[in-house]
Amino acid sequence: MNATPDQAMDHLDCVVVGGGPGGLTAAIYLARFRRRFALVDAGESRASWIPRSHNHPGFPQGVGGTELLQRMREQLGNHEGRVLSGTISSVTCRPDGTFALKYGRGTLTADHVILATGVVDVEPPLPNALEAVRRGLVRQCPICDAYEMIDAKLVVIGRGEKGLGEALFLRSYTSDITLVTLGEPLDLSPANMARMEEAGIRAVETPVTDIAVEGNRIARLAFADGMETTFDSIYSALGFHPRADLAAMMGLRLHEDGRIVTDDHQRTSIDGCYAAGDIVTGLNQLGVAMAQGEIAAVDIHNRLRAREGLKLASARDPAPPAFRQRVPEDAPAAEAQPAE
């Protein structure tokens, strides 16, 4: 499945930029539509940070982020297609409406592009923060895992409306929440201060000087004024930076949060360019990224079908060898299936 840059030089139906859940889903669909595509991935999926997801449908025992990505890559590997490791450093819209994408020293050209480049979380400036996120000791996503924190004693790192919003979301799961600003001002309006107090959420504006980890939990935060707090888990509510450099370079319409604006078909403001997943304004979830990847791939396939006219398959007209599905030798003969 993995290709070299040299193999990827002929004109494609689509280049998918990003190999997280959004991009991989789009690629699986394009492969099954027998489209000529390449997926280019820099290998920094947010999903790889998920220790174990318990809210992603279809996995009653939960699923680790890297395992999920591996399963999706394996599914894509059942099909021929081009999967390239590395970074797309620029996308140029060409006068004929197609796209040129800079990949290393080479260029990929395609009729369509799907940007599924994701976002990067702002990690709290705490010792070993990245390791703590990987181990699930610092959490990023209450929608994903607040259920596992029912009645727990929680710290939310954040301030302002965003920090309070996350604390209030968690407040419906537990009564014991402290908002920790890491020495910054709390920055709440009088009305929001009143909401916070009414909800019984404490706030600490003193800098954090130390974190004690015991086994698989963060046991204690020490503050500059000598106070110490023990608790069960930390949520970071510091937001994220969209990986929107390509989108900005292309002049795509962006939302005020820096992410890409799309329509219901995942089309961006430039014809032929699509976006899916966390890089699109909306809910940052595995299932949403996957669904948007599906929608984008289907729309591209339908556009190409309309352009190509009705193409009828015949036994003498197989798919191009480079994009034909590998069928196991012991697979049963194909049966007629009704159209959906």
Residues forming contacts to ligand FAD in the complex (CB under 6 A) are 17-23, 40-47, 49-50, 53, 55-56, 87-88, 116-118, 121, 133, 140-141, 144-145, 243, 246, 277-279, 284-287, 289
- CB of 21 closer than 8 Å to CB of 47: yes
Distances (CA, A) of 46 to 19, 113, 143, 332, 340: 10, 21, 15, 38, 33
Complex with ligand FAD: residue 100 or 199, whichever CB lies closer: 100
Least distance (Å) between residue 138 CB and ligand FAD: 8
Complex with ligand FAD: residue 177 or 286, whichever CB lies closer: 286
Least distance (Å) between residue 98 CB and ligand FAD: 19
- CB of 21 closer than 8 Å to CB of 293: yes
CA–CA separation, 327 and 322 (whole Å) = 14
Least distance (Å) between residue 203 CB and ligand FAD: 24
CA–CA separation, 99 and 93 (whole Å) = 5
Complex with ligand FAD: residue 102 or 202, whichever CB lies closer: 102
- SS3 of 206-259: CCEEEEEEECCEEEEEEECCCCEEECCEEEECCCEEECCHHHHHHCCCECCCCC
Least distance (Å) between residue 215 CB and ligand FAD: 19
Complex with ligand FAD: residue 55 or 174, whichever CB lies closer: 55
- CB of 212 closer than 8 Å to CB of 131: no
Least distance (Å) between residue 59 CB and ligand FAD: 10
Complex with ligand FAD: residue 50 or 252, whichever CB lies closer: 50
